[in-house]
Amino acid sequence: MHLRRYYKDITWIFGKLCCQKPRQQGKKRKLTFSGTKGIFTLFYDSGGFAAEKRPDLKRHVRLTDDEAFSLYGTQIRKDFDENEIKPEWVIRTLQESGEYFCDVMCDGSGALLSYAFVLRHKDLFFLDYFATVENKRGCGFGTGMLSYLFGTYDGAWLLEVEDPERARDAREREAMMKRIRFYEHAGAARTVVQVTAFGHPYCLMVKGQDARDASAVTQQYLDVYRSIVGTNLSRVIRVID
């Protein structure tokens, strides 16, 4: 199979390859990644490259409410800081509304690769939680999952991302900026709206709507959280002027 046929899927990996330390000639390395046409393994050595496609290994699944609640109680705590995790009663309340769901990406054995908790509020999709499991990061699964979400659920999207202006040091700030660039690469745009939710600082990003309309974005955000916490809105959400 010619690598040229999958050029768009693998151009991003050359940065990784350039960072690899040289090995003894004749020994092959491999890099597994998720592309638009499936999961690939790229073998490379001093003699060149060869890509091997493993079809039908990447599956997107909508979890049942009980499965999603179980995932929330286990995986979320591995991928998010404690102050970013909503109380479990909030998740159950959202599930009862019928507008809160969890989609996951799995491999052929059913092992979790990436997941997203999403709230649909009227014609808006709010990306509540999104992550790739730690030992699968850097393989493109997160990019593939986000592409699936944006392509499957056509409409306006609203996203929270950690606010780099509130970073504690340069290293943390760069990690936050990297997440923002990740979403920008998928077509989202950063707004000027800054908030705190449950005491944690975020800036807001959007896709499929005008990022410059701060007033409209702020109102959308407040409407989303009003549907989540009801009359407790002022206690858990603050818009930073």
Which pLDDT band, with edges at 50, 70 and 90, does 33 fall under?
Answer: low
- At 42 the pLDDT is 54
Q: Check pLDDT > 50 for residue 108.
A: yes
- At 230 the pLDDT is 85
- At 84 the pLDDT is 87
Identify which of 83, 76, 124 has the alpha carbon closest to the alpha carbon of residue 226.
Answer: 124
Which pLDDT band, with edges at 50, 70 and 90, does 57 fall under?
Answer: low
Burial of 107 (0-12, 13-18, 19+ CB in 10 A): middle
- At 201 the pLDDT is 93
Q: What mean pLDDT do residues 11-15 have?
A: 48
Which pLDDT band, with edges at 50, 70 and 90, does 65 fall under?
Answer: very high
Q: Spell out the domain ranges in the chain.
A: 3-54, 59-240
Identify which of 103, 96, 92 has the alpha carbon closest to the alpha carbon of residue 125.
Answer: 103
* pTM of this structure: 0.76
Q: Check pLDDT > 80 for residue 196.
A: yes
Task: Tell me which fold the domain 59-240 belongs to.
Answer: Aminopeptidase (3.40.630)
- At 2 the pLDDT is 45
Q: What mean pLDDT do residues 116-123 have?
A: 95
Contact status, residue 204 vs residue 159, Cβ threshold 8 Å: yes
